[in-house]
Chains A and B, each alone.
Chain A
Amino acid sequence: MADALIAHFTKRFRDGAVICAQLTQPARGHTVTVLFGPSGCGKTTVLRCLAGLERPEEGTIQFGSETWFDAGRGICLAPQQRGIGFVFQDYALFPHLTVRGNVGFGLPADSRDEDVNEMLQRFGLVEVAHQRPRQLSGGQQQRVALARALMRRPRLLLLDEPLSALDTTMREELRSELRLLLSACEVPVLLVTHDRDEALALGNELVVMSGGTVRQSGPVLDVFNRPVDAEVARIVRVENLQPGRVTKVVDGLATVEVGTVTLTALAAPEEQDQVIVCIRGEDVILQRESNATSSVRNRLAARVISVQAGSPLMRIELDAGFPLFAFITRPACEELEIAPGVEVVALIKAPSVHLVSRSEGLRG
């Protein structure tokens, strides 16, 4: 791959922590790769090594035909030479400069004021151009940080937990805003997060990290739906992820088409056509026949495909119009006489159907 970021490196810390990274990312066009994993697993270190803010002990970082880092040949380009944009966790806006000063910071002397104006316009920052960062809302700060990083037309945009500085309600709102802003810029993006919804909403590709190493990488839904090992499964947590389409929203309840069936869910904060439907395996209730009415909104006729023994929960693979995994206890499994081929009814409460909105079509 000529036009790609290819990184293999090891960074050792004095306290004994070792971070090992292998990742590949297209160096052209707009792809969002999400570096996902629990806090403290080394995601930020990987990002900092790519930016040139940390120097790994071993390995190489290749960007297209350029070598950014090669331990063997003693090459390590400074951050200034890499042509990247970096958005820090709490934005790192310069407190002594105005919004305009921040966005236009460090531009060559011959650069035009109009370029800065255009960027302020594009990010809706014209009104606050003469304010200081601390006078801005969280959303505005995020936009300033993005605008500043994009001003120099970086070849790669690195974002470190871009939404973690915000409170929960703001985060959901700004997630969609960030998604729109990112999709509008033709730059490959590498984004670090420990938030599953963020990864689902923003990412095309997913790299799962844990304990300082990359465990799995691939298209977002592939990784979430088919974790390679128990560790990745534990990290991604949700067992069932399916692309869906919201057809209507009435009284806060959304009707979602998934595969060949429709589900009822609590409406996502904003109305979007394309969503990812997340259902935890533990939240799926199985029963043998659909008898009495109950409060459960989603009752799906399903056929058992396979039964995997686990402790303490059994993993039941179902075909419910879409692939669905359910986790039930062994006694329950025995009582219901669940075996491949058996017809069951899968019950899922509407609040257990979690929707993550996505504007673009899904890949992979």
Chain B
Amino acid sequence: MDWQAIGLSLRLSACTMLILLVFGLPLAYWLAGTRWRGRFLLEAIIALPIVLPPTVLGFYVLMAIGPLSPLGQFYESLFGSRLPFTFQGLLIASVLYSLPFAVQPFTSAFATVDRRLVEASWCLGVSNLRTFFRITLPLAWPGVVTGMVLSFAHTLGEFGVVLMIGGNIPGVTRTVSISIYDEVQALNYEAANQTSLALLLFSFTVLLVTYGLQRKVIQVWPTR
């Protein structure tokens, strides 16, 4: 079994999940509350990775962070290294790739929180930020957990994007799914099976626990 690849995949998934938590929560909160007419535009952009082939996403991210792009050049001038075929580059792609799986459940969860409870808190003199942490977030918690689990699981299983951005460098960009693919290519079915089984059991356990703790897990965009 390729423990190195499993460890790398778990690390990538955890980092992606945390980044999406930090950036996805404010984005989702804003989306759930805004009356901006152009909201649908942003929703469509965020939802793109659901329908886009991972290779297409990977290709454009590769172009965007490559040494020829302004972003890639800026990163290189800042850190002295390039983004493609590194863990950081992979992380950027993973965040984009799993964005809808975090932001959609977050937004749905925020939209279901009764607006009047938030207003009641404001009227009691509690600041917007404290209201978020004491009213909105606790009440939206099941949806937030759903978003975290889905983004984690989705990152764990990504293949096409990794192939495009990360390649196959052991310990750096060789994730579980790449490792399994390699074993199959080399006709090492035994090793492929072991890793696959571990991934299957892990994914199933995570979903089992999540579904067990809460009934409504997967929600799409709120209807308004």
CB proximity to A under 8 Å, residues B118-159: 119-127, 130, 134-135, 138-139
Rounded to whole Å, the gap between the CB of A219 and the closest CB of chain B is 29
A80 touches B117 (CB 8 A): no
CB < 8 Å neighbour of A92 from B114, B126, B134, B138: B114
Say yes or no for B224: interface residue by CB 8 A criterion: no
User: Which residue of the partner chain, among A85, A96, A106, A151, contacts B121 with CB atoms under 8 Å?
Assistant: A106
On whether the beta carbons of B117 and A106 are closer than 8 Å, the reply is: no
Q: In whole Å, how far is A30's beta carbon from the nearest beta carbon of chain B?
A: 20
Q: Chain B nearest CB: distance from A97 CB in Å?
A: 9
A84 within 8 A of B: yes
Q: How far is the CA of A106 from the CA of B134 in the complex (A)?
A: 9
* Residues of chain A within 8 A of B119, CB atoms compared: 51, 53, 79, 86, 88, 92
Instruction: Please determine whether A51 and B120 come into contact, CB atoms closer than 8 angstroms.
Output: no
Docked complex Cα distance between A88 and B123 (Å): 10
The distance from the CB of B132 to the nearest CB of chain A, in whole angstroms, is 13
Contact-residue size bin, chain B (C-beta under 8 Å from the other chain): 10 to 19
Partner of B117 from A51, A92, A152 at Cβ < 8 Å: A92
Interface size on A, residues (CB 8 A): 21
Interface hits, A278-325 → B, CB 8 Å: none
Which chain B residues lie closer than 8 Å to A94 at the CB level? 117, 120-121, 135
Whether A106 pairs with B116 at a CB distance below 8 angstroms is no
Alpha-carbon separation in the docked complex, A149 to B134 (Å): 17
B165-180 interface (Cβ within 8 A of A): none
A79 touches B122 (CB 8 A): yes
Footprint of B on A, CB under 8 Å? 51-53, 78-80, 83-86, 88, 92, 94-96, 105-106, 148-149, 151-152
With A92-B114, A96-B139 as known contacts, state yes or no: A86 contacts B125, CB within 8 Å.
no
Complex: how many Å from CA A120 to CA B138?
Answer: 25
Q: Which residues of B contact A83 (CB under 8 A)?
A: 125
Instruction: Say whether chain A's binding surface is mostly helix, strand, loop, or mixed.
Output: loop
Across the interface, name the chain A residue whose C-beta is closest to B35.
A14
With a cutoff of 8 Å between Cβ atoms, the chain A residues found around residue B121 in the complex are 94, 105-106
Knowing that A86-B120, A92-B120 touch, tell me 16 more A-B residue pairs with CB under 8 angstroms.
Answer: A79-B123, A80-B125, A80-B127, A83-B125, A88-B120, A94-B120, A94-B121, A94-B135, A95-B117, A105-B126, A105-B134, A106-B124, A106-B134, A151-B124, A152-B124, A152-B125
What distance in Å separates the Cβ of B161 from its nearest Cβ neighbour in chain A? 38
In the complex, what's the smallest C-beta–C-beta distance from A142 to chain B, in angstroms?
14
Contacts A/B (CB < 8 Å), 16 sampled = A51-B119, A51-B123, A53-B122, A79-B119, A79-B123, A80-B126, A92-B116, A92-B120, A94-B120, A94-B121, A95-B139, A96-B139, A106-B121, A106-B134, A149-B123, A152-B124
Taking CB atoms, residues of chain A closer than 8 Å to B135 are 94
CA distance A88 to B121 in the complex (A): 11
What is the bound-complex CA distance between A86 and B117, given in angstroms?
A: 11
**Given the complex of chains A and B, what is the CA–CA distance between A95 and B124 in angstroms?**
16
Which B residues lie within 8 Å of A105 (CB)? 121, 124, 126, 134
A residues within 8 A CB of B124?
A: 105-106, 148-149, 151-152
